[in-house]
Structure 1
Amino acid sequence: MSVFTNVFTVLFTILAMECFSWFIHKYLFHGVLWFLHRSHHQKAHSFFEWNDLFALFFAALSLYLMYRGSEDFDYRFFIGLGITLYGLIYFVIHDWFVHRRFKTFKSNNAYLKAVRKAHKIHHKNREKENGKAFGLLFVRKSLIKNDRNIF
């Protein structure tokens, strides 16, 4: 496979993971898997929560795909790499920036502020039903302030 194909596969996987994450968040996490995800909507009693098991699942999946595709560096390796990079992006934006699990990351960036605001809208409802804003990286344009401080 060409470098272009590999880079495309990684980038497409990151985009697909955002779409897939929205879907499973809305229909599984706030559905049959609410018993685990509920911990994320409650006041934290420790650093870890049951919801963190989802991150472990996706980490294991990405490692498995990279391992299976590592002999020939086939598409599985690059899909696994894309899942890993999405996980890293998710960790930095969601856990570190939005939820401040580590207190060191602040920004006045309009896009990041919109991501935080959308997630606060999601967490305003602490129950399984009637949730809003299930995604992470895609936010409504109306949430981005007009100061155009995007980058």
Structure 2
Amino acid sequence: MLILFLNAFFSPYFRAAAQSKLSNYNEAIKDCERAIAIDPKYSKAYGRMGLALTSMNKYQEAITSYQKALVLDPENDSYKSNMKIAEQKLRDLSSPTGTGLSFDMASLINNPAFISMAASLMQNPQVQQLMSGMMSNAIGGPAAGVGGLTDLSSLIHA
């Protein structure tokens, strides 16, 4: 019986870290909230919540979590560093040149739907011709024609 009590008591502390590692950020946040309800002075719960929120692009909320973690553990370099990252990402989003979009090439390359789409696109003779023309222009060959972008646009909208 004591083991069940201890497991129920301590599980949100450890489960939040595991959920984040598994990219289950909503569940990680819930476990962090449970851990904070049990022990409001447990700085790791705030730090882990900050990581999960940052991963979900909720930078302002992440910053708030890191600030709370730093109140409890002001010398923790990890919290300081992670808060700076969230602050920078928030600035990037709100900058006049920022698009609000982040481009993650690794996620794109590892996305099976993207790979499938790219493979089928590369089988299209029109795309092959367009790419050949672009490569020819890039190395100083004859121009593929003025309508190159128009041709690409028609392929995309086809």
- If each structure's helix is expressed as a fraction of its own residues, which one has the higher value? 2
Settle same-fold status: TM greater than 0.5.
Answer: no
Higher relative contact order (CA 8 A, sep 6+): 1
Structure of greater Rg: 2
TM-score, normalised via structure 1 length = 0.31
